[in-house]
Structure 1
C-alpha cells in the first residue's frame, strides 16, 4: 500500500482533547547478552522493553499510519562487553522490511551492521531525545536508525521521498560528534559507520542514483511484478544499473553495500523468471557491482 502523504490533521471538536497518535514504527528488539559480565540479567529485559517503547511509541513525523502500515523492523543487539555497571559495548544488526503491493510478501529493504555501539543505560532510565541537541548516546543511536529506516522506506514509495528524514539523521550525526563515542565522525579509515551512511543518503550527489534505485526497484519493480512482469523486470534491471552508475564513481560506498546486502538474495530469486536476454544483461551488471556474490548471480542464468 502506498503510504499517504496527507492525513486528516483535525478531529471533530468533541474529540479535540484527545491526542492524535501517529506512530510510524513497529520494531522488535532482541538483545544477546551472553558475553556480558554481569549476574543482573534483568537489566537486559528492561533494556529491550525500554528500547521498543522508545522506537514504537514515539511520533517520528506528522504522518499517521495505521497499525498494519507501520514499518516493521528488527534490532538485534549483541552485547560484547560491559566494562562497568551501566556501560555497554555492542554490535547491532538493523533490518526493516517493506510490503509488496498485491501480495503477502515483505521485501527486506534495510540490512545494516553497526559494529560500534557504546552506550550507557541504567535501570528505569528515562529515554529522552531532542533532534536539535545531543542528550545521550543511546537515544541518539536509536533515533538515528529510526530516521534512516523511515527515509529509506519513503524513498521506496516516492522519488527521494525520504529527504526530511535523512536531514534529521544527518543532524543527529552532527550533534553527536561532540561526544567521544565511535561511529559519528568522518573517519577515513572507517567508511562503514553512521557518519558515512547519513552522508551518502543526504549530502552526496554521487549517491543520488542509489536513492533513485530504491524507488525504481520497489515501486516500479516489485510492486508491478504480478500485474506487469515485463515492465517490472525492466525497471529492476534499470535500478541495478543505477547502483552500478554510483559504484563506478565511488566504489564500495556504504550505501551501495547496504543496498546489495538487503537485495542480493531477492534479486537472484526474482530474476530467474525473467527473459534470458534481460537476465544476461542483469548478471553482467551484478557481477561488477557485487562480485562477492558471483555464484549467486550466475545461478540466475540457470533458471
Structure 2
C-alpha cells in the first residue's frame, strides 16, 4: 500500500474513533399542517436526526452506549406558505443512573415559537459564529443545551463550554430578528431567556449546582448509600427553592421541576419522614401546581 493510502486509511480510522455524542429521536407531528403529501416530513425527520446525531459536537470520546439520549417532538401548527413552517418543539434529555437500568429525565422544555424554512434535501450546516438559518441554529442550540445539562449532572459546572456555545448561537441569531431569540419581556420562554437563566444570570447558578448534587451525589448513590443520597437530593431541592425566592417562576426553575416532579415523588417515598417532610414544604413553594403529587409523600 502506498504512503498516501496508509494516511487515508489512518484518517478514516481516526474519524471513526471520534464517536458522536448525541442519540436523539426526532418525531414530527404534522396532523395540523393540512398537507396531504407527508413525504416532506419524513425527509425532515431524517435530516434533523442526521444533523443532531451525525456530527461530533465536542472533542471528547464517547462510546456508543455513552451517547446522550433525547427526544425532539416537533408539532407543525401551520404552513402559511410552501416551504415555511410554524411549529412548537418539546425537548427531553435523559441520563442513566449509575448501577441501574433507570434513565432519569434531566431536561424537559417546551419551545413554543419556532418558524423555519425547509426545502427538501437541503443540506444543514452550522457555524458557531454565524447565523445561517433558523433550523441549524435551533437544533445546534438544543444540542449544546443537552450537552451542558448532561455534563453538569456529572461534574460541578461541567457544562460551561457548551452553554457558552449556546449563548453565542443566541447572540448571533438575535441579528436575524426571528422570534424566539430576542430579549422580549412578553416572551419569557424564549431561547434568549433560557440560556440567560442557565448560564448568564448569577441568580440561578444554584440550580446548576443542584443538577450535580441531585444526580451524581444523589440518584447515583441511592443504591449504595441511600441515607447520603436522600440528604443530597433534599439539599438540591433546597437550592432550587432558594433560587426561586430570588426570582420566582424563572424558566430554568420551571424546566427543572417539569423534568423532576414525577421522579422526586417516587424516589423520596423510601426516604426518612423528616427528609420527605422538608422536601414537600420546599416543593410546594416552588411548584404548587403539583401539590397533590408531593403531599402523597407524607402518606407513604
TM-score range, shorter chain: over 0.9
Find out whether 1:102 has 2:99 as its counterpart. yes
2:242 alignment partner in structure 1: 245
Find out whether 1:17 has 2:11 as its counterpart. yes
2:82 alignment partner in structure 1: 85
Q: How do 1:145-156 and structure 2 match up within 5 A?
A: 145-156=142-153
Q: What CA distance in whole angstroms lies between the structure 2 residues aligned with 1:105 and 1:158? A: 20
Contact 1:272 1:302 in 2 (8 A): no
Q: What CA distance in whole angstroms lies between the structure 2 residues aligned with 1:264 and 1:13? A: 53
Q: 2:69 aligns with which of 48, 52, 72?
A: 72
Contact 2:68 2:94 in 1 (8 A): yes
Q: 2:49 aligns with which of 49, 52, 70?
A: 52
Q: CA deviation at 1:295?
A: 0.5
**Deviation by residue 1:134-158 (Cα, 9 ceiling, x = unmatched):** 0000000000000000000000000
Q: What CA distance in whole angstroms lies between the structure 1 residues aligned with 2:71 and 2:38? A: 21
TM-score for both structures, normalised by structure 2: 0.95
Q: CA deviation at 1:192?
A: 1.2
Q: What number of residue pairs does the alignment pair up?
A: 292
SS of 1:17's equivalent in the other structure is helix
Find out whether 1:119 has 2:116 as its counterpart. yes
Q: CA deviation at 1:166?
A: 0.3
The 10-residue stretch of structure 1 (153-162 or 191-200) with the greater mean CA deviation from structure 2: 191-200
**Deviation by residue 1:72-128 (Cα, 9 ceiling, x = unmatched):** 000000000001111000011000100000000000001000001100101100001
Q: What CA distance in whole angstroms lies between the structure 1 residues aligned with 2:264 and 2:157? A: 22
Q: CA deviation at 1:60?
A: 0.5
Q: What CA distance in whole angstroms lies between the structure 2 residues aligned with 1:48 and 1:290? A: 34
Which has more helix, going by share of residues? 2
Q: CA deviation at 1:197?
A: 0.6
Structure 1 gap ranges (5+): 1-11
Structure 2 gap ranges (5+): 1-5
Q: How do 1:1-303 and structure 2 match up within 5 A?
A: 16-18=10-12, 19=15, 20-303=17-300
Root-mean-square deviation (Å): 1.2
Q: What CA distance in whole angstroms lies between the structure 2 residues aligned with 1:108 and 1:139? A: 24
Q: What CA distance in whole angstroms lies between the structure 1 residues aligned with 2:119 and 2:230? A: 50
